[in-house]
Chains A and B, each alone.
Chain A
């Protein structure tokens, strides 16, 4: 009796385990379907379709509620043939999207399409909200040091005043005068040297375009947008069609892009400003034709009496943009990194050695110049980078 009971217990356990494993593997296989479908969707469909909204083509979420699987297979593999066969649904959707045909995907197998549909039918997985709240602890110690300086200055001023007004000691008076004169010279020169030098200038732009997100996180090349830098004097402020090359598709930022300082809603609002300027109707995905200029504020501003050419530095010298503009890819808002003074230009020209390798056209000139100066390497300054007329004419 005992053994029979034991036996039945064991068999029950085995059955239970088997049943559990069966259900578990079923679940697994269903999941694998959708996962495979996701990568297929991202590679083949996402250029024109989203799950939750219309893009170039219709939204595809929960597609099996609207279409038969057999129809979908025929449509995806060759929608032209399906239309030619006179299928009413196929012709209707073709006409709804103004006769722009969908690419045919004969390379997808039936299983691939079943996986795709499984992915489209699955509920969208919400990413676990990452707590972005970073405690901002900024102890402001600067304030106290400023006050110490002020107090010391005030005491010195009071002492000097006392020397002039109350004291009869002639020597002290001479010392005090010298201190006052030196101070005037120091502060005077500091003030004069700052005239017209806008290092650190960081105006508030009409759209809070973040170079940190675009050039830093997403690693988009500077010249993708500033495409004129390779050919012309000016590096160019991109026109809105270049923004729209990506933002036709990207109407909102992801949760991870938001920082403690700027929320997702803030960035999404800035993209809406772009849509307004470009005249893009994000609902119907078309241009309204009512565009308006974005009034960017120019940061780097050389005076008109100094000539500067981007292409000479970017294309010919092969300099990185960061050499003059600093770590733009880390800047939330761009500021002027370099002083842009003449001394700053000349310093770089004196140091920078001209690339001589693989420069057959100027080989002889380079040789003559290095002979003339008795050096192996020629700097930009020795090539004429210090001539007044190069930049002032």
Chain B
């Protein structure tokens, strides 16, 4: 009889101790059968001691073209900019362009600086965090030059090519042109 009582009590203290262990929020909780949580396959952002740079993700070999991607031939220089400004035209037809898509992408990636109307009065400019954003109407820009700047950036604007796909960039270019035309009216 006494034996069972002691067993019960030990179990109770053990169980209470278990529940009161989860106070430290900077550590994850314990897992049941962790093998099923984390498979042996590499994770995209995993750490790796074998590969160079210590990461599972490796940069593609230079010159590699990802499936479905089209290489961009204009180089990141003043000559490249001028060439793109003159020659580069949108490959998307009128039917593929949608102002809704362009607008929502512009709202995510451009609006904080360039402003809703493209007048350079974005939220960050109004708060004086980021200055010198031009009004689209003051700049002599073409669809080619807008695309080129999205690819490589210009002055303080960085490249946005890693955040947008080729098609999305052209949607944004189209929307920027719409805004510019509205401002020029």
Contact = CB atoms under 8 A, between A and B. Distances in A.
Interface of A: 41-49, 55-56, 99-101, 107, 164, 177, 180-181, 183-184, 187-188, 190-191, 194-198, 200-204, 218-221, 223-224, 227, 231, 234, 237, 239, 241-242, 244-246, 248-250, 254, 293, 295-296, 298, 301, 303-305, 335
Nearest to B131: A46
Contact of A198 (B28, B39, B130, B162): B28
Chain A binding surface SS class? loop
A237 B44 CA distance: 10
16 contacts: A41-B131, A180-B8, A180-B12, A181-B8, A187-B12, A187-B15, A187-B16, A191-B18, A198-B29, A218-B123, A218-B127, A224-B112, A227-B164, A241-B159, A245-B158, A246-B158
Given A46-B131, A219-B112, A191 B19 contact: yes
A78 to B, nearest CB: 14
Nearest to A161: B9
Interface string B82-93: 000000000000
B163 interface: yes
Nearest to B36: A305
Given A194-B22, A223-B108, A293 B123 contact: no
B28 A224 contact: no
A335 B50 CA distance: 31
A241 B162 contact: yes
Given A187-B15, A196-B31, A304-B37, A246 B130 contact: yes
B112 A42 contact: no
Contacts of B78: 99-101
Interface string B25-36: 111111110001
Contacts of A47: 131-134, 155-157
Contacts of B127: 218
Contacts of A223: 108
A39 to B, nearest CB: 10
A190 B36 contact: no
Contacts of A248: 156, 158
B99 interface: no
B35 to A, nearest CB: 10
Contacts of A293: 53-55
A221 B157 contact: no
Contact of A335 (B25, B55, B138): B25
Contacts of B132: 42-49
Contact of B156 (A43, A55, A187, A305): A55
Nearest to A49: B132
Contacts of A242: 158, 162-163
Nearest to B53: A293
Contacts of B124: 218, 220
A295 B54 CA distance: 10
Given A201-B25, A305-B36, A107 B53 contact: no
Interface string B104-141: 00011101100000001001110111111111001000
B22 to A, nearest CB: 6
